[in-house]
Structure 1
Amino acid sequence: MNITRTTVPGEGVLFHFATRDGQNLAVMVDRNGSRRILVYGGGDEPSQAIQLAQDEADQIAQVLHSRSVDDRLAILEQRMAEIAGGTP
């Protein structure tokens, strides 16, 4: 996946994603922290924009992670114990 980050003056930051299959989408992070998912239908302009509240963006991020936050936290705790010389 190709990801580009662009600052949009007065708006926020745009993260554009191009998949291996050539599909395009973007996430616009507004200055106030809200997010918009922009879906492209083949042209240069998005065909759809989906506004997300911060908690909604967090929920989608949780679903997209390959491991849950709890699983990742458990792995980090295990690694910290190993580094500190504790039992895994």
Structure 2
Amino acid sequence: MDITRTTVPGVGVLHHFLTRGGQRFGVLLDHSGLRSLLLYGTDDPDVPAQRIALDHDEADQIAEVLHSTPMADRLASLERRLAELHRGPA
């Protein structure tokens, strides 16, 4: 996947993603913290065909679903590691 990051003056930061299959989408992080998914069609590669605005919790939920290991599993693994460190060598 090809990822580019662009600062949009007065707006925020735009991340463009291009998949191996040639599909393009973006994630806009504006100065207020709002996140938007930008979906591009084939008509104009520079103008989003659709914009989906996400609240913070919605963006977190999508990130959790897309992450390869769920947050609960990562936290449990970290807790096990800390317990092992606390016990020390056997």
| TM-score band w.r.t. shorter chain | 0.7 to 0.9
Q: Which residue of 2 aligns with 1:67?
A: 69
Relative to structure 1, the CA distance from residue 77 to residue 86 in structure 2 (aligned partners, 3 Å threshold; closer, same or farther) is farther
CA displacement at 1:86 relative to structure 2: 5.4
Q: Which residue of 1 aligns with 2:19?
A: 19
Runs of 5+ unmatched residues, structure 2: none
After superposition, the CA RMSD in angstroms is: 1.8
Higher gyration radius (CA):
2
TM-score, normalized by length of structure 2? 0.84
Supply the distance in 2 between the matched residues of 1:5 and 1:83 (Cα, whole angstroms): 38
Supply the distance in 2 between the matched residues of 1:18 and 1:65 (Cα, whole angstroms): 18
TM-score, normalized by length of structure 1? 0.86
SS in 2 for 1:62: helix
Moved more, 27-36 or 78-87: 78-87
Q: Which residue of 2 aligns with 1:6?
A: 6
Supply the distance in 1 between the matched residues of 2:39 and 2:75 (Cα, whole angstroms): 32
Relative to structure 1, the CA distance from residue 86 to residue 64 in structure 2 (aligned partners, 3 Å threshold; closer, same or farther) is farther
Relative to structure 1, the CA distance from residue 86 to residue 6 in structure 2 (aligned partners, 3 Å threshold; closer, same or farther) is farther
> How many residue pairs are counted as aligned between the two chains?
87
